[in-house]
């Protein structure tokens, strides 16, 4: 986006009969009124803002005064008639590409696709309205979950903030609009109960090996709550056996296969304490892996923790297939994805009374508000448990 600099506003001569001291020319042509505002941009070049079709001189003058007001507060008038889709594309390229994790960037790219599929290419950003945005949300919500529609709105709201800062628009046109779409899957399908969680951990611990690396990956995801891309990005330099911690500061690009990449956000860079059982499992893996590498003469320049016997790092699709088989072998009658291990991790810690603030940092969320929003249903369950404990404690006072 262009940097905005203050400059002197120049105007064409005003009509002799125009009584308001304005810096715009107001003229009548072909039965309607028009205004023309002349100004200098930050490079010193003279530019013009024109608009016609006003029914009265006063309406044209008020519109011209609005342009002058925008200029006087530092708005970049060259962006006044910027195309909505072009602005989003430019904003995403400037602020998101190369600055966010690839998984996060994918959300902005999906949003870009939907915007281009719905809005006409001559839609101006400044003429976007709550009604137009609500119509888009209603269209988008057909056959999609509300959570999906909400993600898209969140992406666009980031762009809107920049547009307001640039002076292209003065308000957020998504305010007071309603998210459309169907309900997400029932929350009970998104995580394992404690009894099944225990079965899963026991099975993975008993069957983990170099040839069945997925058991180590599932075990690590379940006991850390880390994202899949964060788990498979771990190197042995990130594992501190003495302090019993892992350091997460990379993601793994399993979509485009470019290797190590940045984390989802700055808050995702964190050190997580791990239980002794995971420390023991990782020590066994490290010993087996080093012995195998010495035997085969293989050297891993990245020193990856979860590189298997075929010198590969698992992809998201393959690990979900493996998890499906592990759940079946563990006699767990619930289908979940690897990401649901993260929810399971949170569910179990909340049930054990672990503070939400700590859980939020452990997950790598950028704020406690995000954790509260994502895990509302789990917090409600935990709150009911706390209510019971509180009532029991108060009842003891009267015995």
Superfamily of domain 188-384 in CATH is Intergrase catalytic core (1.10.443.10)
**DSSP assignment letter at 245:** E
| Closest-CA residue to 342 (of 381, 308, 375, 380) | 375
CATH classification code of 9-79:
3.30.160
Tokens read off for 70: 């925008």
Question: Does CATH place domain 84-166 in 1.10.150.130?
Answer: yes
The answer to whether 261 and 230 are in contact (CB under 8 A) is no
Q: Are 293 and 299 in contact (CB under 8 A)?
A: yes
> Which residue ranges of the chain lie beneath pLDDT 70?
1-23, 41-43, 48, 70-71, 73-80, 184-189
Q: What is the b/e burial string over 111-131, where b = at least 16 CB atoms within 10 angstroms of the residue's CB?
A: bbebbeeebeeeeebbebeee
- Averaged confidence pLDDT in the chain: 85
Question: Rounded to an integer, what is the distance from CA 250 to the centroid of its chain?
Answer: 17
- What does the pLDDT read at residue 73? 65
Structure tokens at 277: 């059982």
Angle between helix 102-118 and 84-95 (nearest 10): 170
Helix 213-224 / helix 316-329 crossing angle, nearest 10 deg = 90
If 0-12 CB within 10 Å is exposed, 13-18 middle and 19+ buried, where does residue 301 land? exposed
The strand pairing partners of 252, in sequence order, are 260
Domain boundaries of the chain, sorted by first residue = 9-79, 84-166, 188-384
Strands 32-40 and 24-29: antiparallel
Q: Which long-range contacts (CB under 8 A, 24 or more apart) does 195-203 make?
A: 196/330, 196/332, 196/334, 197/222, 197/344, 197/348, 199/330, 199/331, 199/332, 200/326, 200/327, 200/330, 200/332, 201/277, 202/330, 203/326, 203/329, 203/330
Query: Closest Cα to residue 343, out of 205, 218, 253, 226?
Result: 226
CA neighbor of 3 nearest in space, from 75, 83, 109, 110: 75
Identify any residues that bridge with 307 across adjacent strands, giving them in sequence order.
313
């Amino acid at each position: 986006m262009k940097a905005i600099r203050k400059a002197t506003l120049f105007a064409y001569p005003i009509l002799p009969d125009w009584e308001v001291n304005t810096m715009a020319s107001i003229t009548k042509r072909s039965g309607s009124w028009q205004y023309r505002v002349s100004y200098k941009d930050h490079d010193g070049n003279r530019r013009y803002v024109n608009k016609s079709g006003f029914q009265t001189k006063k309406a044209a003058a008020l519109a011209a005064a609005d342009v002058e007001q925008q200029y006087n507060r530092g708005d970049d008038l060259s962006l006044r008639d910027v195309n909505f889709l072009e602005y989003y594309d430019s904003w995403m390229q400037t602020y998101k590409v190369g600055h966010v994790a690839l998984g996060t960037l994918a959300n902005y790219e999906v949003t870009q696709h939907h915007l281009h599929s719905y809005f006409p290419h001559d839609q101006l950003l400044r003429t976007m309205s709550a009604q137009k945005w609500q119509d888009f949300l209603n269209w988008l919500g057909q056959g999609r979950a509300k959570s999906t529609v909400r993600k898209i709105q969140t992406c666009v709201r980031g762009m809107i903030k920049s547009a307001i800062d640039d002076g292209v628009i003065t308000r957020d046109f998504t305010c007071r609009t309603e998210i459309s779409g169907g309900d997400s899957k029932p929350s009970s399908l998104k995580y394992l109960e404690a009894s099944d969680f225990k079965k899963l951990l026991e099975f993975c611990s008993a069957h983990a090996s170099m040839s069945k690396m997925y058991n180590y990956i599932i075990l690590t995801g379940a006991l850390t709550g880390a994202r899949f891309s964060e788990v498979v990005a771990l190197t042995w330099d990130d594992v501190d056996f003495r302090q019993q911690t892992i350091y997460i500061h990379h993601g793994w690009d399993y979509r485009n296969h470019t290797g190590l990449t940045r984390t989802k956000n700055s808050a995702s860079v964190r050190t997580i304490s791990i239980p002794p059982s995971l420390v023991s499992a990782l020590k066994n893996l490290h010993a087996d892996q080093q012995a195998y590498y010495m035997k085969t003469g293989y050297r891993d320049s990245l020193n990856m923790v979860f590189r298997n016997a075929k010198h590969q790092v698992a992809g998201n699709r393959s690990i979900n297939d493996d998890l499906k088989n592990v759940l079946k072998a563990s006699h767990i009658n619930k289908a979940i994805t690897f990401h649901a291990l993260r929810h399971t991790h949170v569910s179990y810690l909340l049930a054990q009374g672990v503070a939400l603030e700590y859980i939020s940092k452990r997950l790598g969320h950028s704020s406690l508000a995000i954790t509260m929003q994502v895990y509302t249903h789990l917090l409600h369950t935990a709150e009911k448990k706390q209510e019971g404990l509180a009532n029991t404690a108060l009842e003891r006072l009267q015995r």
